Amino acid sequence: MKRLPIITLALVLALSLSACGTSSDMPSQSSNAESQSTTQGTSTTDSETTYATSATTDEKSTETLGEFSQTSTIEETVMIDEDGVKITATELKYTNYSVEVELNIENNSDKDLSFMSGTIGYSCNSVNGYMINDGYLNCDVAAGKKANDTISFSYDELMLYGINEISDIEIGFYTSDDDYNHTYYAPQQIQTSAFELHDYDKDCYQETISSDAAMNTYDYDITYFSVDSLYSENGVELLSSGIMVNHYGETALLIELENTTDSMIDISTSNIAINGLVVDSYTWSSDTISAGKRCIIDVNLSSALESEYWDIYGIKEIGSVSLSLKQKNADGDDITEKIPVEIKVPGAKVEFDESGTEVYNSNGLKIIFKTIIEDPSEYSADMYVLLLAENTGENTLSIDDVYDSLSVNDYMTDYSCSSQELKSGESAVIEINLWESSLEKNEITSVSDINEVEVGFTIKSGRDTLDEPTITISIE
């Protein structure tokens, strides 16, 4: 699949959300969200509530959002002072687009050091109790020297989580020397002048994301939202789940998790399926949740399965989205196995289309050829061979392509191919990306130029190889 790196919803969906805080200049969202929600489906217990938001009701208010409050201040705060390293937060500054934490960094060690935060390798920053992907730092400081630098949090990134005023910021730093030795420092908190007034028990994210004010301001819809408790493992609780569609027609699954333990936990998502059709069976994302914090995980369904493919695979609406959640501790050791979670949309059809041309059927695996399409964007002339694999046997199967095995019209062609792992009875998308540069060399400029595609696959059950077929797809 065309998998995107881990990015925030603001970037994935080109939107941002409103805020909920202590500032008096912001409109109240709670009454609006509650009054606009309507019951949908039947709850299994009194404490579980599944509802459609104002996006699915007949009437919608014209309310819009206020501005981000820029009044919070901090006192000078020493965040780290050990091993010859000292980091001091000196001031909060507000720009037109972000709030910035001014830092004074001292390297009193005998080695040159790089100071980092908010990177893929160590991203554990939070604001007002919500994990935030923002807050990047990369600052080089020679031995015995000092530096001034800033860590920035965009208003859109903060407002995405229902934050309009800074009550506290936690930042995790790490250092690296010239020999690539790393030292990781646990997140340290900076409290602001608004800290004592902030209600940390209030779920600002939930009441913001489903409000008319946020949807009117940023032109998106929450088509489904639920606070059903669908996951509770090792002190990590699923607080809410929702489906968002932005004004570009892109769709995302939103999952809100809370870590109620006293330890940092890494949680990964995998086995993404739409309406029961597996679109990515391997790790999709990995997020850190610090002790006592909440985290919003976004799964861009329009990236997991390209929007242009939905009709090809017979997905007319989202009836269900499923995924697996797995926990690790800060040392990378498994805490839990993969636990499946399924979000069902009441009243929506859970279906996909398995029809097509059968090109393989053996060893408990059937492969169907769906079609070949050209890249829908104007920036690429790649082409895509779309297949559907169905596990008709009793054992879990994995399917991978044989490296450098593909040809188009008997000409070797550069490509990439998604791998999948299927449990008994599951079906999955297999996408083969034919690269533009290689197609051009072979004088293939459109799908109509393709007569035949040949590719090899390896089919395994565990470590045992069941078959290595060469599949030929003839285009009539």
190-210 pLDDT, tens digit each: 999 999 999 999 999 998 888
Q: Distance (Å, rounded) from C-alpha 412 to C-alpha 405? A: 8
State yes or no: pLDDT of 66 exceeds 90.
Answer: no
In the predicted structure, residue 25 carries a pLDDT above the cut 50:
no
Separation between Cα atoms, residue 234 and residue 107, nearest integer Å? 39
Tens digits of residue pLDDT in 318-377 = 999 999 999 999 889 999 999 999 999 999 999 999 999 999 999 999 999 999 999 988
Mean pLDDT of 270-289: 95
160 pLDDT band (50/70/90 cuts)? confident
Judge contact between 371 and 386, C-beta under 8 A.
yes
For residue 59, the model assigns a pLDDT of 66
More confident residue, 394 or 156: 394
The pLDDT value given to residue 272: 97
Residue of 28 and 397 predicted with greater confidence: 397
pLDDT of 26 over the 80 cut: no
Q: How far is CA 13 from CA 86, 127, 168, 179, 254, in A?
A: 38, 21, 27, 39, 12
Q: Which residues lie closer than 8 Å to 95 by C-beta, 6 or more apart?
A: none
Query: What is the reported pLDDT for 65?
Result: 73
* pLDDT, greater one: 33 or 252: 252
pLDDT, tens only, 406-457:
999 999 999 999 999 999 999 999 999 999 999 999 999 999 999 999 999 9
Does residue 179 carry a pLDDT above 50?
yes
Q: What is the pLDDT of residues 33-58, one digit of tens each?
A: 333 333 333 333 334 444 444 444 45
Closest C-alpha to 470, from 458, 449, 456, 459: 456
Residue 458 has pLDDT above 50, yes or no: yes
3-state secondary structure of 232: strand
The dihedral sign for the CA sequence 309, 215, 16, 267: negative
381: Cβ contacts below 8 Å, ≥ 6 apart: 374, 375, 436, 439, 440, 445
Are 300 and 284 in contact by the 8 Å Cβ rule? The answer is no
pLDDT for 336 equals: 95
**Residue type present at position 282:** Y
425: left (phi over 0), alpha (psi -120 to 50) or beta: left
Token representation of residue 62: 């014209």
